[in-house]
Structure 1
Amino acid sequence: MTPPRRVTALAASFLPLLFAPAFADSDVLWKIVHDRCAVQTAPCLSVNTAEHYAMLKDLNGIAQFLLIPTDKITGIESPDLLNPATHNFFADAWAEQGDVDSRLPHAIPRDGLSLAVNAQQARSQNQLHIHIDCLSTDARAVLKADADRVGTDWAPLPDAIAGHQFTAIRVKGETLGDFNPFLALAKTLKDPAKDMGGHNLVVVGANFAEGPGFIVLTDVAKPGMGGEDVQDHSCAIEH
């Protein structure tokens, strides 16, 4: 689907910033959401004022979208994410799957959709954003093989994905409901306020023997390795 002309034109005005070196302006996403989307929606596709987030088509990939809070939340290290009153942005991101599907010839199967947040040292922008996109074919194969070995307590995933040795947990249900991956990760850490920023966090849809659910993945980021590594922005699984 071709993006609406008004969105394309406005988004184009940010091209020099978005493709500039990461150190050039780490607040580009915040400026887009705060200065433009919160005022007139475009270049975002939508703004959910009740849940405090906007949906923006990423310039990278054919169907990748970013869920970006409309409040200033720097990233996974933000103390705001440890507040149970903060909206469950991962649950919101899963509910926005239709935006991704609209750019593809077929809807992504449940176990082909992924939501990823990069660790503080593995990102270029200082505004929280969840990458919503296709899972890579390799990652999908690994998780399909390991799905029924993932339990309801955090444990190492048997196989590596894109060089990551993830720890994983199973979540049951069609939606994430009240399960907040940020809070679930924080509960495993000795000092969440200090340690959250070093972690990647990924949510992938799953089909377990007993029904639908999710596999949540996390690891301590190595240099240059983000949670986004499990995704395929060309969406090969749909071609």
Structure 2
Amino acid sequence: MKSNFLLKLLECKYLMNSFLINLGKSNIRKYRSKYLFLVFLTCFIELSLTTTSNSQMTENVPRDLLWNKVQKCITNQREIHKPDPCVYVDINNKYVVANGSKPVDYLLVPTDKISGIEAPQISQSNSRNYWQYAWKKATDKDYIRSKAPQVKYPEQIGLAINSKQARHQDQLHIHMSCIKKVVSEELEKGEKTREITDRFQSQKYVNLEGNNYSIRLLKNDSLSDYNNPFLLVKEFVGQTKMEEQSIAVVGRKQGGFYILNTQSDTQSGYKAVAEKLLDEDCSTQK
């Protein structure tokens, strides 16, 4: 978000300087202040739009912004056969893919109204396979790999959903991006030392980016049915605590996945944000 804002700011500075130079050479100097005002106004609007388009993670945005965007995408797909402003709409499987707020950040969003991770209908063995859909899109060449060609392997990719306490949109969405290299390295190390096994372990955590995660290993390539990460975490913590959870899914070098879970703590003020494990400009994946 910061990099996009600074880039736009530099563009505006260049534009204003160009106008000053050209106006200085022209015979319309008396209109200089008027033109400068118009340039300034244009830049201000563009900077505001840049900030707004990246503000899904800020608190001053309407909490139904993402839901309204999904409705527009569906309408455009049906009426003009274009998913705008999304990048993909799947009417049959009831989800869309939209650009997120970071350079290499995509969102998978259901077309059904689902508030978030705490919704009971998403954590059943027969629930719609949102994680599987997200993984398929995340590993498709037209998405992350189109922006970051250095991403070639599953262990470079991560998915994440934030807790109710941390999110700023009340529509379920799964982030799809690169995973920080240090995170994937820690996961491999944890598996080798058997800190990470094929089940979540109470009171046994792996510290990643300053927060504790319970981690479960999946050795098969399915995130559906009984491997649905929502279901796996619900079985571990219970439905009543689901709103406090944040989940990440990371590809495993040997095939399969790591399922990561962190929990909000109201006493310490920690709001669980597994998204922070993602590398949303893919800069660490070189």
Q: TM-score, normalised by structure 1?
A: 0.84
Match of 2:279 among 224, 232, 238: 232
Residue by residue over 1:40-86, the C-alpha shift from the partner in whole angstroms, topping out at 9 and shown as x without a partner, is: 111111111121110001132x2210000011001001122134443
Partner residue in 2 for 1:217: 260
Equivalents in 2 of 1:105, 1:83: separation in Å?
36
The one-letter amino acid paired with 1:91 is Q
- Does residue 111 of structure 2 align to residue 70 of structure 1? yes
Equivalents in 1 of 2:190, 2:118: separation in Å?
29
1:102-117 alignment to 2 at 5 Å? Answer: 102-117=146-161
Partner residue in 1 for 2:167: 123
Structure 1 residues 105 and 157: alpha-carbon distance in aligned structure 2, compared to 1, 3 A threshold = farther
Equivalents in 1 of 2:172, 2:89: separation in Å?
15
Q: From the two aligned structures, give the one with the greater helix fraction.
A: 2
Partner residue in 2 for 1:45: 87
Match of 1:91 among 128, 132, 144: 132
**C-alpha deviation, 1:234, in angstroms:** 1.8
Residue by residue over 1:172-228, the C-alpha shift from the partner in whole angstroms, topping out at 9 and shown as x without a partner, is: 1234343100011111234x0x21000011111112xxx411010102124344010
The one-letter amino acid paired with 2:150 is H
Q: List gaps (5 residues or longer) in structure 2.
A: 1-47, 77-82
Work out the percentage of aligned pairs sharing the same amino acid. Answer: 26
Mean CA deviation greater in 69-78 or 156-165: 156-165
Equivalents in 2 of 1:168, 1:224: separation in Å?
18
Partner residue in 2 for 1:101: 145
> How many pairs are equivalent?
221
Equivalents in 2 of 1:144, 1:22: separation in Å?
36
Whether the 8 Å CA contact 1:17–1:25 is kept in 2: the answer is no
Mean CA deviation greater in 144-153 or 50-59: 144-153
Structure 1 residues 141 and 89: alpha-carbon distance in aligned structure 2, compared to 1, 3 A threshold = same
Whether the 8 Å CA contact 1:63–1:101 is kept in 2: the answer is no
Whether the 8 Å CA contact 1:105–1:238 is kept in 2: the answer is no
Partner residue in 1 for 2:69: 32
Equivalents in 2 of 1:22, 1:48: separation in Å?
29
1:111-190 alignment to 2 at 5 Å? Answer: 111-148=155-192, 149=194, 150-155=196-201, 159-178=206-225, 179-190=227-238
How large is the Cα RMSD of the aligned pairs? 2.1
Higher relative contact order at CA 8 Å, sep ≥6: structure 1 or structure 2? 1
The one-letter amino acid paired with 1:229 is K
Structure 1 residues 109 and 17: alpha-carbon distance in aligned structure 2, compared to 1, 3 A threshold = closer
Partner residue in 2 for 1:22: 59
Whether the 8 Å CA contact 1:77–1:196 is kept in 2: the answer is yes
Equivalents in 2 of 1:165, 1:84: separation in Å?
27
